[in-house]
Structure 1
Amino acid sequence: MLVILVSFAFAFGLALTRIGLPPMVGFLVAGFAYHMIGLETPQGLDFVADLGIKLLLFSIGLKLDVRGLLKAEIWASSMVQMLVTTAFMCGVLLLGQYLFQSSLMDMSWQTVLVLGFALAFSSTVFAVKVLEEKGDLTAFYGRIAIGILIMQDLFAVLFLSASAGKLPSIWALSVLALPLLRPVLYKLMDMAGRGELFILCGLFIALGVGAEGFSLVGLKPDLGALVLGVLIAGHPRASELSKALFGFKELMLVGFFLSIGMTGLPTLEMLVAAVLLCLLLPFKTGIYHFIVSQFGLRARSSLFASLSLTNYSEFGLIVAAIAVGQGLLTPDWLLVMAMTVSISFAVSSPLSTHSEYVYRKIFGWLCRFERSYCHPHDAPIDLGDVKAVVLGMGRIGSGAYDELQKTYGKEICGVEHAPDRVDFNRSQGRNVILGDACDTEFWLKLRKDLRLELVILAMPNHYGNMYAAQQLRNFGFECQVAAIARFPEEVEELSAIGVCTAYNMYEQAGAGLVRSALEGCRLSG
């Protein structure tokens, strides 16, 4: 059965990618198709799905700046959105009770409130996947969307605790002492080295310490994985750990999307109910957009964040299951929620993928919602009157900056995405700003009247350098571009898109080493 399920997942995932949809939608369809033909669900699929969600939240934590959640555009917009959207969904459900005489709508007002609350959530799993595929997980609008989703997860923890009829254990207070555990976890990561032991170290921290630890004290295991990710996010190898776990996470999440489609066989009435609920998604998007735009976000950022959240959450399935277990809902609603979540993913995916096209179509109308002031993190980027720019201020970038300074003096600027590296370079007297050249937002907010003569692409990621070079050409910057590379094929790729000089640092490092050695020999002789 497992082989058949994997074949279904691959076939449907491949088929839907051919028509422009992400593989995850194909996995959802594969789950429905597998269940529809009457095949038995493989044992352990739910376990794999839960594991995928935990690893996803752990990876989010590794990249999360927890201080960002304390900003008004995160916590205030999350609370207002939950209240407004819940009220709106409850109103629609009550209207549905009045208009449709169906057994599905035979609910008490308490049940309507629970369903409205569930429909107010957006999917963390889906949104993060879409943002990762677009490369916008660290973009400003991406951070806003992720922050809102994390706040929603916290609301979910409170609801699940209340619905279970019990409070967390008194030992739950021990999580407040978790920062004391950070030095131990850091030491474990340092001792793990590289390879499979390092991967196992990450799994131990995420699942053993985080998920199981929180479960033992009556807290949500998923939240434990997220918190432990945040706890070790400051370690120098946190990014390396996230990349090492990437393959595991992606594979496990396939099980999650397949499991949603295997909830049961829907009837026509259930399908109609799910479609009607998905017709409410534009209103949900509008609520998100109006609220986040009140914090000074540009129309584009507000729209992109809202489109990332234009879906229903797998949390709705959990709520439905709890309500069914308590006799508040009929079991049919579990299938309705499964189809609603699945259809919302299929609707949201192309909207998020083609968000730039959507923005251009409704730009004039969206601008009406912009505030008179602009959020500092969403304002246009001003490099000043510079003639040379270094993108990536690591060791190579800072060395290039110092060499260029002999020619350009003060008419040079560095761009670096890591705040601590920005602070270090500034302390060394370099003119460096915080920005991510791999982020679409950076190029859209960059002043286009710059009189650049030279751009150095010194980012360690080859694809980042490729992307930056393409954006320089797309936005019409007429300047010389030089980049670092590690392999001959990377040099060829950079040259093919117009980079005038591609520097193979491995080959040149060897030549530089020989020159230094010969010079040392001459001096000693």
Structure 2
Amino acid sequence: MLELIWIGSAYFMGLVASRLMLPPLVGYLLAGYGLHAAGFSPLAALPHIADVGIELLLFTVGLKIKPRSLIRREVLSVGGGHLLLVAGFSTLTFFWLDQQITGGLILGISLAFSSTVLAIKVLEDNGELSSLHGRDVMSILILQDLIAIALLAFTDGHQPTPWALELLLIPFLRPIAYRLLEASRNAELRLLLGVTMALAGGVFAEHLGISADIGALLTGIMLGGHGKTEDIAHKLWSLKELFLVAFFLQIGLNNLPTQQQALTALALLAWLPLQGGLFFLLFILAGLRARTAFVSSLALTTYSEFALITTNAAVKSGLLAQEWQAIISLTVAGSLAIAAPLNRYSHILFAWLEPLLTRFERKQGQALLDRIPESLGVAEWLVIGMGRTGTSAYVALHGRERRVVGFDADPIVVESHLAENRRVVYGDSEDTELWAGLPLDRVKGVILTLPQFSLRCSAITQLRNRGFQGKIGAIYYYDDEQKEMLRLGANFVIHPLSEAGNQMAKQMLATHGASVSED
């Protein structure tokens, strides 16, 4: 019965939060506070379930870590610079308030972390996870997660045994792990393998006197790089979220915040705009354009779930007072409640603020990828979105000796096409500056193969508003998409699967005709 009350409360409060355009996490925390106020106490198993959720979280972080992505200039300068400035300020503040310096430093660094869950959700919903700013945000989040892991190791309170160096043997187990992954051909087996390896890494680390979270992270890093790890990370994401519900419920069930704690949380929330401004300034100094810097900064202007985890560990170790658990839980929940709707409309917000923000751009030393193409040369055809369909369109036009240029918002996709000697440049279709500054005088037609319907509609609208008189072709997946894009000004739209069927029938008939003529 108690399990039903807890899970049901978390569900209904999460549902209410989502209906209010807030992350369900806010609802889970409120459910915990409500259960505590109603006189419920946490189950004995709840902390253990929460620990499993944290291990799965860190394991999935390890799967995504790519050292090359962490050593880019904007990642190190922005992510590292922000952490150092916020940590230094928090240390001075706690020294001035005559508080514990070590605890203040840990708290300050924790508050410099941004919400991985919210940022990934927003970028994924907007189709921007693989864009330039999406990759920068993800890399900075991973850098912050690594620092968080170091904080957890410092605040854990356990003394590692001399055998702790055995953790360095985990990467050498990669061939065995890859063999197991190749043998696990079913989706269920791959999911079970991921959970097993995350828990095995945690158990091994605990046996050596190290936090289980460290072992789960190292195991994730060891398994990362395989072609199927993306599938494991995707499947573990929902499972990990389910286990983490216990963690957020536990925070609320522990105690209710007092009025003074609530005021302190509000004071910390008042610092959020300054954090966002600091991120924006650092991105600008790293050479990014105002639009890229603004959208990236907005995605990072939150307090992280990791702040709850590190604060909890610091309190257990006696480095922070007990009251900080309630303060930080309220602060994190409030930051997510503020940031979620703002990120949903980040591009609209930038359009309003564009005249002001573009004044901060550095014309010298601008990042190579984050530039608007000043010329398309003699190109007469544009392909926007260089996935499978876009690449096929590009190859078909190039094969007919047409002058064609491809655009894509994923820097990795751009690099791969350049390696194939295709003329492809970086360009984000949501960037109003791209359409405003793109030279279209010679262009006869534009092909839109973007996966998101909203992006195709936006591109058509901006092209026609620009006065483009050439042909516009686009893909569609549903009938209502077809009607809307034709209404906005597309000359023709094609369903990729229907066209594949037509081509297959033509090829089959052509082959049949050839065989009959040969007979």
Common fold: TM-score over 0.5 = yes
CA separation in 2, counterparts of 1:23 and 1:281? 21
Match of 2:266 in 1: 275
Match of 1:146 in 2: 138
| SS at 2:478 equivalent | helix
CA separation in 1, counterparts of 2:267 and 2:185? 53
Q: Are 1:237 and 2:225 an aligned pair?
A: no
| SS at 1:20 equivalent | coil
Match of 2:256 in 1: 265
Query: What TM-score do the two structures reach when normalised by structure 1?
Result: 0.81
Q: Are 1:403 and 2:396 an aligned pair?
A: yes
- The one of 439, 448, 461 equivalent to 1:449 is 439
Opposite residue 449 of structure 1, the aligned amino acid is: P
Cα shift at 1:229: 4.6
- The one of 490, 501, 505 equivalent to 2:478 is 490
Opposite residue 509 of structure 2, the aligned amino acid is: R
Match of 1:251 in 2: 242
Give the conservation status (yes or no) of the 8 Å contact 1:157–1:219: no
CA separation in 1, counterparts of 2:279 and 2:516? 69
Q: Are 1:124 and 2:116 an aligned pair?
A: yes
Q: Are 1:134 and 2:126 an aligned pair?
A: yes
Opposite residue 513 of structure 2, the aligned amino acid is: E
Match of 1:377 in 2: 369
Cα shift at 1:328: 4.4
| SS at 1:390 equivalent | strand
Alignment of 1:23-172 (within 5 A): 23-42=24-43, 44-93=45-94, 97=97, 107-164=99-156, 168=160
Give the conservation status (yes or no) of the 8 Å contact 2:284–2:361: yes
Cα shift at 1:306: 2.5
Opposite residue 279 of structure 1, the aligned amino acid is: A
C-alpha RMSD of the superposition: 3.6
Q: Gaps (5+ residues) in structure 1? A: 98-105
- The one of 271, 275, 281 equivalent to 1:284 is 275
Cα shift at 1:313: 3.1
Cα shift at 1:295: 0.8
Give the conservation status (yes or no) of the 8 Å contact 1:85–1:287: no
Give the conservation status (yes or no) of the 8 Å contact 2:406–2:423: yes
Give the conservation status (yes or no) of the 8 Å contact 2:94–2:101: no
CA distance change for structure 1 residues 422 and 59 in 2, over 3 Å: closer, same or farther? same
Match of 2:331 in 1: 340
Opposite residue 382 of structure 2, the aligned amino acid is: V
| SS at 2:29 equivalent | helix
Cα shift at 1:454: 3.4
CA distance change for structure 1 residues 393 and 314 in 2, over 3 Å: closer, same or farther? closer
Q: Deviations over 1:437-471 (max 9, x none)?
A: 6xx45x75454333543344456xxxx15244223
Match of 1:350 in 2: 341
Cα shift at 1:513: 5.1
Q: Which moved more, 1:275-284 or 1:208-217?
A: 208-217
Give the conservation status (yes or no) of the 8 Å contact 2:52–2:199: no
Cα shift at 1:166: 5.7
Cα shift at 1:307: 2.4
Cα shift at 1:69: 0.7
| SS at 2:369 equivalent | helix
Give the conservation status (yes or no) of the 8 Å contact 1:484–1:505: no
Q: Are 1:518 and 2:512 an aligned pair?
A: yes
CA distance change for structure 1 residues 395 and 146 in 2, over 3 Å: closer, same or farther? closer
Q: Deviations over 1:303-350 (max 9, x none)?
A: 332222223334433444344334444322322222222222223323
CA separation in 1, counterparts of 2:196 and 2:224? 15
Q: Are 1:508 and 2:502 an aligned pair?
A: yes
Cα shift at 1:39: 2.3
Give the conservation status (yes or no) of the 8 Å contact 1:261–1:342: no
| SS at 2:439 equivalent | coil
CA distance change for structure 1 residues 39 and 297 in 2, over 3 Å: closer, same or farther? same
CA separation in 2, counterparts of 1:450 and 1:241? 43
- The one of 307, 316, 323 equivalent to 2:298 is 307
CA separation in 1, counterparts of 2:315 and 2:514? 79
Opposite residue 251 of structure 1, the aligned amino acid is: L
Q: Which moved more, 1:301-310 or 1:158-167?
A: 158-167
CA distance change for structure 1 residues 179 and 267 in 2, over 3 Å: closer, same or farther? closer
CA distance change for structure 1 residues 322 and 401 in 2, over 3 Å: closer, same or farther? closer
Cα shift at 1:297: 1.7
Q: Are 1:389 and 2:389 an aligned pair?
A: no
Opposite residue 448 of structure 1, the aligned amino acid is: L
CA distance change for structure 1 residues 420 and 79 in 2, over 3 Å: closer, same or farther? closer
Match of 2:321 in 1: 330
Opposite residue 493 of structure 1, the aligned amino acid is: E
Cα shift at 1:67: 0.4
CA separation in 1, counterparts of 2:375 and 2:6? 53
| SS at 2:405 equivalent | strand
Cα shift at 1:85: 0.9
Cα shift at 1:133: 3.4
CA separation in 2, counterparts of 1:296 and 1:418? 18
CA separation in 1, counterparts of 2:345 and 2:413? 34
CA separation in 2, counterparts of 1:303 and 1:282? 12
CA separation in 2, counterparts of 1:516 and 1:2? 64
CA distance change for structure 1 residues 91 and 473 in 2, over 3 Å: closer, same or farther? same
CA separation in 1, counterparts of 2:36 and 2:247? 15
Opposite residue 278 of structure 1, the aligned amino acid is: L
Match of 2:308 in 1: 317
Opposite residue 42 of structure 2, the aligned amino acid is: T
Q: Deviations over 1:137-189 (max 9, x none)?
A: 33323333332232223223333333345665555555556554444434333
Give the number of equivalent residue pairs.
504
**Identity within the alignment, %:** 32
Match of 1:100 in 2: none
Q: Deviations over 1:354-396 (max 9, x none)?
A: 3334434444443454333311232224672433233455555
Cα shift at 1:419: 6.8
Cα shift at 1:190: 3.0
Q: Are 1:475 and 2:462 an aligned pair?
A: yes
CA distance change for structure 1 residues 63 and 335 in 2, over 3 Å: closer, same or farther? closer
CA separation in 1, counterparts of 2:215 and 2:461? 43
Q: Gaps (5+ residues) in structure 2? A: none
Give the conservation status (yes or no) of the 8 Å contact 2:131–2:409: no
CA separation in 2, counterparts of 1:136 and 1:145? 10
Match of 1:6 in 2: 7
| SS at 2:22 equivalent | coil
Cα shift at 1:424: 5.9
CA separation in 2, counterparts of 1:375 and 1:248? 38
Q: Deviations over 1:227-269 (max 9, x none)?
A: 5555555433344444444433443444444343333112112
| SS at 1:497 equivalent | helix
Match of 1:16 in 2: 17
CA separation in 2, counterparts of 1:377 and 1:329? 44
CA separation in 2, counterparts of 1:523 and 1:181? 60
CA separation in 1, counterparts of 2:134 and 2:389? 29
